[in-house]
Amino acid sequence: MGENKMVVFIRKYAMIIVLFLVLGFFAITTGGNILRPMNITSLISQNAYVFILTAGMLLCILTGGNIDLSVGSIVCFTGAVGATLMVNMGWHPAVAVVAMAIVGALIGAFQAFWIAYVRIPPFIVTLAGMLAFRGLSNVILNATSISLAEEKGFMKAFGGGSDCYIPDLFNVEGFNLTCFLIGVIVTIAFVSLQVKKRIDRRNKGYENEKLSSFLLTTVPVAVAIMWIITELSLDRGFPTVLIWIMAVVLIYNYITSNTVTGRSFYAVGGNEKATRLSGINTNKVYFLAYTNMGLLSAIAAMVTMARLTSAQPTAGNSYEMDAIGACFIGGASAYGGIGTIPGVIIGAILMGVINMGMFLLGVNQDICKVVKGAVLLLAVIFDVISKRRFKLIAKN
């Protein structure tokens, strides 16, 4: 019984432990540079697309270990469409953003139709999409970049440029008090929601986890939030792109945890046949997963364009691999049916820390890819082995 609890504990907190170990390693080897406020801000802005795409990729993986290989190309294509509308055709940025979202969703729906209703394997459909939309992007852009430097409103809204931060209302020298107060509010809200969830479970007669386990998960997260916010407050404040990241994370965490639709993704990944026999439209679940992936790819295109201050033919390269890797590293099962939004976000942060740490150490990018590949493989090996071991313990 004790071994069973230990296995469960390791499975639940392994990636958090690894994240702190990796962060500690780079903090030592970079002389603390990775923990500087400027680098924390860079970590958020440079990996914003990963956080956004990871939330959508998780839904695809939950349906049975399926993935979407086309997201990087869709990011590039929707970015090319948006830049063309804004710069070349003079559309208002707000209208162009809506158009990008619609285009992304339509692309996702197109691919979802073949996957959900014709039952062509997702790997084949999205591989075709990866090639097709990368080619179409180059056709639209004519193999050149479109600058967005003059689109100040778009840049500020999606985290590009030097003024893409929430204004400080207090103007305290060397410390952004507005950013810090936002962090306090977010932390209080997080702790309150966790306590409320625990009270609700008790009132409904459900068994709660031990108080020690509850504190072990809640307190470190609250401390981490306040530490990150303090670092941002010492730099330039609260970046607007973080609002988009928080919105996506909170919305999709609610969907996967508190809605019937969200639980359907887990059910399909656990046993599709049984799910279908129970009355759930499994075709609709697949359709929603891949349509949603197209929509989030468009949002990722917006933050990518803002950060690069342009739409480029090479934008989105390997984005799908970053999102897939973050999901598996963050605890999503390669077989589907298992994974959480907080877990995959931890995976995304871990990949971001590895990227930032190796960049600060001056490590060659090719070696960085080797390291990320090894981390991904180890995460999947850990998932497979621990699952087998858990089943053996359960039988005994």
| Between 204 and 293, residue with greater pLDDT | 293
- Three-class SS of residue 168? coil
Tokens of 224: 């981490």
Inform me whether the pLDDT recorded for 4 exceeds 60.
Answer: no
Inform me whether the pLDDT recorded for 386 exceeds 80.
Answer: no
Encode pLDDT of 45-61 as tens digits.
Answer: 999 999 999 999 999 99
Task: Name the pLDDT band for 9 (thresholds 50, 70, 90).
Answer: low
Tokens of 330: 């963050």
| Between 110 and 204, residue with greater pLDDT | 110
Q: What percent of the chain has pLDDT over 90?
A: 64
Encode pLDDT of 201-229 as tens digits.
Answer: 888 888 887 887 788 778 888 999 999 99
Nearest to 144 by CA among 317, 316, 315, 297: 315
Cβ proximity of 256 and 340 under 8 Å: yes
Element spanning 373, H or E: helix 365-395
**Which residues 6+ apart lie within 8 Å of 87 measured at CB?**
146, 147, 148, 150, 151
Encode pLDDT of 67-87 as tens digits.
Answer: 999 999 999 999 999 999 999
Mean pLDDT of 241-255: 94
Task: Name the pLDDT band for 171 (thresholds 50, 70, 90).
Answer: confident
Taking each helix axis from N to C terminus, what angle separates 260-270 and 48-62, rounded to the nearest 10 degrees? Answer: 60
Cβ proximity of 165 and 173 under 8 Å: no
CA distance 361 to 214: 37
CA distance 294 to 110: 9
3-state DSSP helix/strand/coil % of the chain, to nearest 5: 75, 0, 25
Mean pLDDT of 136-163: 87
CB burial of residue 168 (10 Å; 0-12, 13-18, 19+): middle
Tokens of 394: 């359960």
DSSP state of 35: G
Element spanning 111, H or E: helix 93-116
Distances (CA, A) of 254 to 260, 289, 297, 337: 11, 15, 20, 17
Inform me whether the pLDDT recorded for 155 exceeds 70.
Answer: yes
- Three-class SS of residue 299? helix
DSSP state of 87: I
State pTM to two decimals: 0.91
DSSP state of 86: I
Phi, psi of 311 (to 5 degrees): -105, 125
Tokens of 395: 């039988």
CA distance 67 to 144: 30
